[in-house]
Amino acid sequence: MAVAATAWRALRRVGLGAAAGPRGSLLGWPNSSGSRIVRSPEARRLSTSPALLLAARRFTDKHEWIAVENGIGTIGISNFAQEALGDVVYCSLPEIGTKLNKQDEFGALESVKAASEIYSPITGEVTAINTALADNPGLVNKSCYQDGWLIKMTVDNPSELDDLLTEEAYEKYIKSIEE
C-alpha cells in the first residue's frame, strides 16, 4: 500500500493523478505493483485507417482524441491512455442529443484495474455513440482509433480545435511525461 501511495504522489506531481485519490485522469492509475508501465514509442505507434487519414487527429493533455470530418468530430481515447487503463470492461457514454462544453465530463471507462472519466475536447452536441462498446468494451483496447471510438458530436466552435495538440505535439508530450 505504501508503494501505491508513493506512486500516486509522483503521478500527481507530474499532473497525471487525481488530487483527491485514485479516480481521475486516464493516466492516474498505477499497475498492480504500484508503478506505471511505460511502453516504448514503437509500442504506441498510431494505427490509421483511410477514413481517419482524411481527418487529422487532435489530442488533449488528458489523452482524448478527436478527428473531424464534415463538421462532425469522432472522439476516443489515445493508445497511450488505453494502455494505461488496461483491459476496458465497461463504458458509460452520454445520450444522443447531450450538449457538451469543452472539457465537460461526458462518460467513464472502467477497466479491471481502474475507472476514469472522459472529457469533451470541444463544444458540441452528441450525434452518435458507439453502441458496439456495450457488448464489446474491449474494442477501446483493440482499436482505439478505429472501432473503439466513443462518441461523435457536432463541432460548434471550430476554433477550439486550435487549442488541441497535433499528433506530433502529442507524441512529444507523451515523451516528456515518461521521462
- Considering only 21-30, 68-77, 79-88, which range has the smallest mean pLDDT? 21-30
**What pLDDT shows up at residue 42?**
35
Contact between 133 and 148 under an 8 Å Cβ cutoff? The reply is yes
**27 in any annotated domain:** no
Q: Is residue 7 part of a domain?
A: no
For residue 21, being part of any structural domain is answered with: no
pTM: 0.71
* Phi, then psi, of 170 in degrees rounded to 5: -65, -45
The answer to whether residue 99 sits within a structural domain is yes
**Residue 68 pLDDT class (50, 70, 90 cuts):** very high
**Total structural domains within the chain:** 1
First to last CA, the chain: 24
Q: Phi/psi of residue 110, each to 5°?
A: -120, 135
Domain housing 95 = 59-174
Model confidence at 157, in pLDDT bands (50, 70, 90)? very high
Give residue-wise pLDDT tens across range 81-134: 999 999 999 999 999 999 999 999 999 999 998 999 999 999 999 999 999 999
90: left (phi over 0), alpha (psi -120 to 50) or beta: beta
Handedness of CA 171, 173, 178, 179 (dihedral sign): positive
Residue 66 inside a domain? The answer is yes
Residue 96 covered by a domain? yes
Place of cell 470530418: 69
Sign of CA dihedral 156, 137, 145, 20: positive
Rounded CA-CA distance 163/141 in Å is 26
- 93 domain-assigned: yes
CB 63 within 8 A of CB 77: yes
Residues 6+ apart with CB under 8 A from 70: none
- Pair 112, 87: CB distance under 8 Å: yes
Radius of gyration of the chain (CA): 16
Is 47 within a domain?
Answer: no
CATH of the domain at 170: 2.40.50.100
